Amino acid sequence: MSRAPITSPLGDGERTATGNALQATLVDLIDLSLTAKQAHWNVVGRHFTSVHTQLDELTDTARNYADEVAERSNAIGISPNGKARTVVASSGVPEFPDNWQSDIDTITAIVAALEALIERLRARIEETDKTDLVTQDLLIEITKELEKAHWMWQAQLAN
Amino acid sequence: MSRAPITSPLGDGERTATGNALQATLVDLIDLSLTAKQAHWNVVGRHFTSVHTQLDELTDTARNYADEVAERSNAIGISPNGKARTVVASSGVPEFPDNWQSDIDTITAIVAALEALIERLRARIEETDKTDLVTQDLLIEITKELEKAHWMWQAQLAN
Amino acid sequence: MSRAPITSPLGDGERTATGNALQATLVDLIDLSLTAKQAHWNVVGRHFTSVHTQLDELTDTARNYADEVAERSNAIGISPNGKARTVVASSGVPEFPDNWQSDIDTITAIVAALEALIERLRARIEETDKTDLVTQDLLIEITKELEKAHWMWQAQLAN
Amino acid sequence: MSRAPITSPLGDGERTATGNALQATLVDLIDLSLTAKQAHWNVVGRHFTSVHTQLDELTDTARNYADEVAERSNAIGISPNGKARTVVASSGVPEFPDNWQSDIDTITAIVAALEALIERLRARIEETDKTDLVTQDLLIEITKELEKAHWMWQAQLAN
Amino acid sequence: MSRAPITSPLGDGERTATGNALQATLVDLIDLSLTAKQAHWNVVGRHFTSVHTQLDELTDTARNYADEVAERSNAIGISPNGKARTVVASSGVPEFPDNWQSDIDTITAIVAALEALIERLRARIEETDKTDLVTQDLLIEITKELEKAHWMWQAQLAN
Amino acid sequence: MSRAPITSPLGDGERTATGNALQATLVDLIDLSLTAKQAHWNVVGRHFTSVHTQLDELTDTARNYADEVAERSNAIGISPNGKARTVVASSGVPEFPDNWQSDIDTITAIVAALEALIERLRARIEETDKTDLVTQDLLIEITKELEKAHWMWQAQLAN
Amino acid sequence: MSRAPITSPLGDGERTATGNALQATLVDLIDLSLTAKQAHWNVVGRHFTSVHTQLDELTDTARNYADEVAERSNAIGISPNGKARTVVASSGVPEFPDNWQSDIDTITAIVAALEALIERLRARIEETDKTDLVTQDLLIEITKELEKAHWMWQAQLAN
Amino acid sequence: MSRAPITSPLGDGERTATGNALQATLVDLIDLSLTAKQAHWNVVGRHFTSVHTQLDELTDTARNYADEVAERSNAIGISPNGKARTVVASSGVPEFPDNWQSDIDTITAIVAALEALIERLRARIEETDKTDLVTQDLLIEITKELEKAHWMWQAQLAN
Amino acid sequence: MSRAPITSPLGDGERTATGNALQATLVDLIDLSLTAKQAHWNVVGRHFTSVHTQLDELTDTARNYADEVAERSNAIGISPNGKARTVVASSGVPEFPDNWQSDIDTITAIVAALEALIERLRARIEETDKTDLVTQDLLIEITKELEKAHWMWQAQLAN
Amino acid sequence: MSRAPITSPLGDGERTATGNALQATLVDLIDLSLTAKQAHWNVVGRHFTSVHTQLDELTDTARNYADEVAERSNAIGISPNGKARTVVASSGVPEFPDNWQSDIDTITAIVAALEALIERLRARIEETDKTDLVTQDLLIEITKELEKAHWMWQAQLAN
Amino acid sequence: MSRAPITSPLGDGERTATGNALQATLVDLIDLSLTAKQAHWNVVGRHFTSVHTQLDELTDTARNYADEVAERSNAIGISPNGKARTVVASSGVPEFPDNWQSDIDTITAIVAALEALIERLRARIEETDKTDLVTQDLLIEITKELEKAHWMWQAQLAN
Amino acid sequence: MSRAPITSPLGDGERTATGNALQATLVDLIDLSLTAKQAHWNVVGRHFTSVHTQLDELTDTARNYADEVAERSNAIGISPNGKARTVVASSGVPEFPDNWQSDIDTITAIVAALEALIERLRARIEETDKTDLVTQDLLIEITKELEKAHWMWQAQLAN
């Protein structure tokens, strides 16, 4: 493909900056979905049932927003990259341990993963304020969902 | 977790052999789902619409069977591993190119990926014939679906 | 509970100011839902059927946004308070009269209640512009719905 | 409205006694719905997920029966009153504490609230036996549901 | 058919008395459904739309309870009779005028019809208290629905 | 109502002739629905289940077309009349016997009723060919359904 | 479990008497569901299809009411017992023969089973009139359904 | 496109005459849908709710038949034309006033629009009787729906 | 079966002529459904996906109308014949080639098949104008659907 | 098409043998679907309703498995052939008689058809055990369904 | 019934052996469903909600497979026996204790019950390998589901 | 209507500027919906099916947002104007050619129309930043959808 087939509604500078924010978000969300699935399959303990179920909902959330982010990237003329190799190279999600994990360890790890992603997203909301309000709107929506998820996971750690 | 929390209905030898077949299938299917999504986002060309749609169906197929395979692995007392790092280390799916791809190149790459996976699956059907008929039944079902998908993708290459 | 179990993605100042805006909105919406139900049960007159139905839709709108506002409050680390006593103490909804009410009096009272809430919400949109864009986005969405409802109720007063 | 617009199928004495039973039940159910929502938003702890979900179901139960009770009140020619101020003045639901609450404290408070309401409802079933069998039938149905809920909440306190 | 094919769980006296109550209710409900349909087709006036719609809901209510009443009659060993000729001979619904009717006249006629049926039903609730509690329960349920409908129709006459 | 509130797209002669065809069809269909319900409640015998079920489907067919016919009557400016008294006075459906009936007697009676209605409808299709093609189209559709029903009922009489 | 974990809204005498009525009903309904399934699998004959289908509906009815009865038992503080051994020891359903059965024999056996259960239920309705109106209401509802089923099964024996 | 790509099942004369009838109907229906939407957005007055709702149903009716008419035009080998410019040039719908309109004025205007379209459609039913019975069948169906709508809108003008 | 079990609403001449038209249409539609399925399974080429899908929709259309035609045949007292042998002996659908076919060849063959059937159907519409308007109405509806399908298939041949 | 467009996961010998088994099954299932439809349209007698309904379910079963068999054939690189002519030439379904058939004769013929197909399928299960386990799995599933159907049809012949 | 009404596709030896495997599985599954219901009604403790819910899903699983096993038994010409008495006499499910049980005791008992059934099923898979591959396929599917359930219940015992 | 019946939550300047942005957007979206329908009906060529389908989805998108824009206009006290004449006078959509169009020409025209609208919408997002954040939020959402559509249409032009 000799020439980019998709044109952009943004100027070159805005396109590059916005594209970087979207690509980084895409990778974070794909890794969140893989991590949540890994946790979903490997959780054990008294609270197995509810944690197992919630992890599937988190996977769906991550997958759906990954799709929206990749579509937005295309819409501004940037090819999105969500391959396994790219995820390993640039994800912001902390490494999840191998093997079965207790329910409490699982919850703790998910809370930490969400905290890391939220902090990165809030920085990107600021960056896109000057480059593309449409993209910013999407990042605000994702942040709202992840912060809500963060509360619901963290609430289970209270004792 | 000092001790495996899940016991197995199989003897030790059968458990290990069957577990290997399932773990390898899990990684193949997760990588197929990531590859199909990557292709879904990056396809361009006259046949964009139908290829874009079919790739989402292929992603769903791969995701659903990955879930069944991981559950079966747990059921025989083996912790499944589907993390990004594991996928990169052991997947049998050929590397998909970066950047936007034409519809024909996309179809050709998907046909090749399916061929590779089907060949690996047929070998595992033979192996599990002696170790676990229940797992074999699942692998037969996955093979049937992938061979059907292979026909429907390959049919588009005829001219 | 000796220590707040939910941490906040916001700094302390932003958390307090945003929390106040959310708590005030929560109380307004709960009282709107109670007022709409009271009106729903007590309306009489030629237009009983359509007014009775619309009041139930308004109740649903108020209840759904109350839920989202309370969830957002938790997400920024503030415990929401929606008890009857709190509603009586701090709601911005004008007192609705006791006993059966004619359809026109009912419509007039609802239009007045919506006007009061919209004005309060628009002030909170300005406040949260500096403290939390995610909360602001939610308040904008609620305002859009209440302003739409305001038009549809007011349209019935034209003669 | 100079004159009551809704006539009654009951005699004056029966209408007043039945109306009192319905009005008291209405207030109890509205306060139960507000209390359950408050608890829904503020629960934390290991059992967050299931308690959070059950509280929403309890809210729905309370809201639906409040609607039926208010409709029955209208049907016998008595205007129902479900405003926040009326709820604060006459509810039989024990005060729920402010701020986040542990899951066990939440369950204990809900069990106590249901016990209080059931006792009041059983007294009203006896009263309406002489004044209106149709209303009694509704109160029996509500009692059945609350007693079932009481069992399911109390079962979680066993250790 | 030389001999009644359906036996009864009731003694002879209870069967006859209960059967009479059910047969009279069946005829009233069928005539209510025909009257509501006639009104549905012939209403005109500013409130056409809502009155037209409500009359269809009243028809459905009447038809569904007619079915339940006829089934209950069979269940106690009495053949139900709902033919047009029987309806004309024994219905308690006041005659509805021919030709198009204004919305207000229509509402007034429906309120009168409901009042007549409710009074008859309340007498039958008392009668069946001694003959069959199961049938009484059904009559109480029908009365509740018709009294609710009576309020909603009458509410439209307030001015 | 001093003056007909609904105007007609037809000339006076066409309106009267078409109106007569529709009014006669309306009465036939209402009586068919009452007869089918009577049979539905009173059928007994080895084939109870299927005959009972089919009679409810026939009732639905008759009720739906009665609605369409009455609406068409209004559309050409003729007030439809479907009251019990009118049905007794002018229906073309043969009288159905009182009391429980065997399944075979029931089927035979329904076949006869359908034959009578079909013959009357075919005459009205011819009449409306000159007065209103829109009405004729509706009568053709009704005839098609009743002739299909006639086959399905008659097929059960073969031995 | 040293101490009953579920308290009762009833006094001790009422609790015991009501509990006995519910336990006996529970066993009857479970055995009815097993008997209906046995008949469902073993029926043969010309009427196979409709009898096979109806038996599944009867199974569902029995299962659903068994659930409601067990829940009511818990609600009054009595542990329900529905184990196979308990069913064999105390059910009131007549023994169903082994092996395939003709459709007519099947219908006859089901009618007899329903008659036996209805008679036992009517006695329990009387007993609970003095001990718990809420439980009585449930028994009335079950009786209504079983008496309706009794008519529909018996109707098939008429010839 | 040098040559018409769609062949016709009709002869040339029939194709032209039928095509003219369809093209004129298409434009009328598109303009009806735009007019109904304009009225839907601009209606005010006591009956706002029901008129607002009915106008959306009329829009749907007009849009669906426009689609069927355009498809039929293609099926006989005539390219349909439904652009805004074409609608302005050849529609038979009377001009609707600018700005908000009272509910009664809105109803009156819609009745007038329907009357105009019905008259034009009835003429086309006659024309197509000789050119294409398939097209005539579609025009008859549209006329039936619009005449039914005409009655329901006109019924609201009676007083 | 010594004697035809289904009587006819038509005279003998009309019955025979109409029956012939229906039997010929039945065979055409069954063969169309078999041909469309054969094409569905054997199509290959760039447009595989959309052609494969459309052929299934065409199969459904053909099957549904075959059912309606066979039912209509019964309704006029003629036994329908849709066996494989009958289809081979009298179908008007051109022979479809064996083996995989390119998408363009497939589309061309389907357009030709539809053209052949439409021409035969139009002749039968004329014939039944004198023998049975109800059957004619069904043939008109089938022709409308096949002519619409013809346009949609032919549109794909334009270049 | 000069060269087969679909490659096979099987070796040549396995492909041919498996392909023959699938082609023969395809023809049997298509003929079963046509035969069941013919029977569905032509059945008469007391049991018309249930037999008519079951035949449609059998048609659906046959059609769905025909689709799966044809898809499997493509998946192993063999073009499936399901044309009317092929069905007549190679089907194993016994010839069904022309004209209306009594219900008992119909049931007897269907039982015989199922017996013939089951015997042929069981032979193919053995053959494919050595050539393709994936295809064998599909044939086992089809056999299970047809043997279940065989029981349900045969059960109706018992007396 | 003098003679078995259902013939078998199997030889006598295979029929007896396969029939024994199916009958034993049927009894195990029915007892599993009764045991799961008993546990569902009697569980108490912190995890009441999720255990209560899972037990209902297990009941559904057991009931559905019991149905499939009984149908398969009929399909091979063996009358299935699922009466309470038969279950008590031959079930392989360990006796469940009377009275309310803690959640942990409940989970432990269910894990033990599943282990017992899985071991018995795996033996039957081996037996049916020589007698009926179709039955074996069903037993493999049931084993897969029970082993998956075993993992999910056992996972809750990890600490 | 002497006086505007709908009041505004905005000051006069903001109301006028925001109203202009909304009115211009309304006209653009209505014309987009008419243009997409025109294209939907007139497209021909190899890609007919997918282009035909996508154009209907684009029509729905345009219609839904037109509704939201008109409602927002009312909510700020400005009467929306969407009549055909207004559309012709002020739309920003390029003129679409008459007659059938090839698929590629159709895609090219749609891409151009979307580009024109997106550019106009981005200007209005800037304008409303100072006048009404609620309206801005709606325009951002519409822009996101149109830019996504623009990518998906443009992707089909790559070769």
> Which of H43, H47, H55, H150 should be substituted to probe chain E, the one whose Cβ sees the most E Cβ atoms within 10 Å?
H47
Question: Distance, in angstroms, between E135 CA and closest chain F CA?
Answer: 17
Q: Which residues contact F85 (CB under 8 A, 6 or more apart)?
A: E88, E95
CATH for the stretch B12-155? 1.20.1260.10
Q: Beta-carbon neighbour count of residue D119 at 10 Å? A: 11
What's the rounded Cα separation, in Å, for the pair I66 and I28? 9
Q: State pTM to two decimals.
A: 0.97
Q: What is the rounded average pLDDT of the residues I5-34?
A: 97
What phi and psi, each to the nearest 5 degrees, are found at residue J101? -130, 145
For the stretch J89-122, pLDDT in tens is 999 999 999 999 999 999 999 999 999 999 999 9
The pair of three-digit structure tokens given for residue A152, joined into one six-digit string = 């619901």
The pair of three-digit structure tokens given for residue C65, joined into one six-digit string = 């946004």
pLDDT of residue A77: 97
D54 Ramachandran zone, left/alpha/beta (phi>0; psi -120 to 50): alpha
F94 pLDDT above the threshold of 60 = yes
What's the rounded Cα separation, in Å, for the pair I51 and I43? 8
Percentages helix, strand, coil for chain I, rounded to the nearest 5?
A: 75, 5, 25
Give the ranges where L5-132 is alpha helix by DSSP (H). 12-42, 48-75, 84-90, 103-128
- Buried b / exposed e over K1-33, threshold 16 CB at 10 Å, is beeebbebbbeeebbebbbebbbbbbbbbbbbb
Confidence band for G1, pLDDT divided at 50, 70 and 90: low
Nearest CA in chain E to F90: E84
pLDDT of residue F11: 96
What's the rounded Cα separation, in Å, for the pair K159 and A45? 5
**Contact at CB, E45 and H152, closer than 8 angstroms:** no
Question: Distance, in angstroms, between I44 CA and closest chain B CA?
Answer: 5
Q: Which residues contact E130 (CB under 8 A, 6 or more apart)?
A: none
For the stretch C19-34, pLDDT in tens is 999 999 999 999 999 9
Facing residue for H82 by CB, picked from L41, L88, L102: L41
Facing residue for A148 by CB, picked from C5, C71, C137: C71
- Buried b / exposed e over G84-99, threshold 16 CB at 10 Å, is bbbbbeebbbeebeee
**Contact at CB, I9 and F151, closer than 8 angstroms:** no
**Contact at CB, I44 and B152, closer than 8 angstroms:** no
Closest CA to F54 of F94, F111, F119, F93: F111
For the stretch A41-69, pLDDT in tens is 999 999 999 999 999 999 999 999 999 99
For the stretch H98-112, pLDDT in tens is 999 999 999 999 999
What phi and psi, each to the nearest 5 degrees, are found at residue C85? -60, -40
Which position has the token pair 């409050």?
Answer: C73
Closest CA to E108 of E158, E144, E143: E158
For the stretch H81-130, pLDDT in tens is 999 999 999 999 999 999 999 999 999 999 999 999 999 999 999 999 99
Q: Which residues contact E80 (CB under 8 A, 6 or more apart)?
A: E22, E23, E26, E69, E70, E73, E74, F41, F42
Half-sphere exposure at residue A38, Cβ-oriented, CA atoms within 13 angstroms: 25
pLDDT of residue C4: 80
Question: Distance, in angstroms, between F152 CA and closest chain J CA?
Answer: 8
Question: Distance, in angstroms, between C104 CA and closest chain E CA?
Answer: 10
Torsion of CA I26, I29, I35, I36, to 10 degrees: -150
**Whole-Å CA distances, J100 to H73, I1, I78, I137:** 42, 7, 9, 26
Confidence band for D88, pLDDT divided at 50, 70 and 90: very high
Contacts of L34 in chain H (CB under 8 A): 30, 82-84, 87
B114 Ramachandran zone, left/alpha/beta (phi>0; psi -120 to 50): alpha
pLDDT of residue E4: 81
Tell me which H or E stretch contains B48: helix B48-75
Facing residue for D151 by CB, picked from G1, G6, G133: G6
Residue G97 gets which letter from DSSP? P
Instruction: Report angle CA F25, F29, F35 to the nearest 5 degrees.
Output: 145
What's the rounded Cα separation, in Å, for the pair D68 and D124? 16
What phi and psi, each to the nearest 5 degrees, are found at residue D44? -140, 165
Nearest CA in chain K to D108: K46
Residue K102 gets which letter from DSSP? E
Q: What is the rounded average pLDDT of the residues H11-38?
A: 98
J77 Ramachandran zone, left/alpha/beta (phi>0; psi -120 to 50): left
K17 three-class SS:
helix
Question: Distance, in angstroms, between F96 CA and closest chain G CA?
Answer: 19
**Whole-Å CA distances, A92 to A65, A86, A88, A98, A116:** 16, 12, 9, 18, 7
Nearest CA in chain K to A104: K159
**Contact at CB, C84 and D84, closer than 8 angstroms:** yes
Please say whether the beta carbons of J110 and J146 come within 8 A. no
E131 Ramachandran zone, left/alpha/beta (phi>0; psi -120 to 50): alpha
For the stretch B90-149, pLDDT in tens is 999 999 999 999 999 999 999 999 999 999 999 999 999 999 999 999 999 999 999 999
Please say whether the beta carbons of F83 and E30 come within 8 A. no
Residue K3 gets which letter from DSSP? S
Q: How far apart are the first and last CA of chain C?
A: 58
Evaluated on CA atoms B35, B39, B40, B41, the torsion sign reads: positive
Pairing of strands A43-44, J101-102: unpaired
Contacts of G71 in chain D (CB under 8 A): 148, 151
Contacts of A122 in chain C (CB under 8 A): 9
**Contact at CB, F155 and I6, closer than 8 angstroms:** yes
Amino acid at site L27: V
List beta partners, residue B137.
Answer: none
Tell me how far the alpha carbon of residue A45 is from its chain's centroid: 27
Contacts of K53 in chain A (CB under 8 A): 49
Facing residue for C79 by CB, picked from D70, D83, D100: D100
Which position has the token pair 């361009």?
Answer: B44
**Contact at CB, I158 and L49, closer than 8 angstroms:** no
pLDDT of residue K49: 97
What's the rounded Cα separation, in Å, for the pair I11 and I8? 7
D73 pLDDT above the threshold of 80 = yes
> Which of E47, E49, E53, E105 should be substituted to probe chain H, the one whose Cβ sees the most H Cβ atoms within 10 Å?
E49
Question: Distance, in angstroms, between E47 CA and closest chain H CA?
Answer: 7
Please say whether the beta carbons of H138 and I144 come within 8 A. yes
pLDDT of residue B78: 98
Please say whether the beta carbons of A55 and A39 come within 8 A. yes
Q: Which residues contact L151 (CB under 8 A, 6 or more apart)?
A: A6, A71, A74, A75
Nearest CA in chain I to H3: I158
Contacts of H150 in chain E (CB under 8 A): none
Which position has the token pair 């289809």?
Answer: I87
**Contact at CB, K48 and D156, closer than 8 angstroms:** yes
Contacts of L158 in chain A (CB under 8 A): 1, 5
Evaluated on CA atoms I145, I149, I152, I155, the torsion sign reads: negative
Tell me which H or E stretch contains K118: helix K103-128
Please say whether the beta carbons of H140 and H128 come within 8 A. no
| Contacts of H among chains (3+ CB pairs under 8 A) | C, E, F, I, L
Pairing of strands H43-44, H101-102: parallel
**Contact at CB, L82 and H35, closer than 8 angstroms:** no
Contacts of C43 in chain E (CB under 8 A): 155
List beta partners, residue J76.
Answer: none
pLDDT of residue D39: 98
I1 pLDDT above the threshold of 70 = no
The pair of three-digit structure tokens given for residue I16, joined into one six-digit string = 């025979």
> Which of I119, I147, I154 should be substituted to probe chain H, the one whose Cβ sees the most H Cβ atoms within 10 Å?
I147
| Contacts of D among chains (3+ CB pairs under 8 A) | A, C, E, G, K
Percent of chain G's residues with pLDDT above 90: 97
Question: Distance, in angstroms, between G151 CA and closest chain E CA?
Answer: 5
Half-sphere exposure at residue D100, Cβ-oriented, CA atoms within 13 angstroms: 26
Chunked mean pLDDT (size 10), chain C, 159 residues = 83 97 98 98 98 98 98 98 98 97 98 98 97 98 98 94
**Contact at CB, A45 and K152, closer than 8 angstroms:** no
The pair of three-digit structure tokens given for residue E117, joined into one six-digit string = 């049926």
3-class secondary structure per residue, chain F: CCCCCCCCCCCHHHHHHHHHHHHHHHHHHHHHHHHHHHHHHHEECCCHHHHHHHHHHHHHHHHHHHHHHHHHHHHCCCCCCCCHHHHHHHCCCCCCCCCCEEHHHHHHHHHHHHHHHHHHHHHHHHHHHHHCHHHHHHHHHHHHHHHHHHHHHHHHHCC
**Contact at CB, I1 and J101, closer than 8 angstroms:** yes
Confidence band for K4, pLDDT divided at 50, 70 and 90: confident
Q: What is the rounded average pLDDT of the residues F46-70?
A: 98
The pair of three-digit structure tokens given for residue F53, joined into one six-digit string = 């079920």
K119 three-class SS:
helix
pLDDT of residue K1: 52
**Contact at CB, B43 and L156, closer than 8 angstroms:** no
Closest CA to I79 of J96, J88, J157: J96
Positions of E strands within E51-122: 101-102
Number of inter-chain CB pairs under 8 A, D vs K: 27
Contacts of H138 in chain I (CB under 8 A): 144
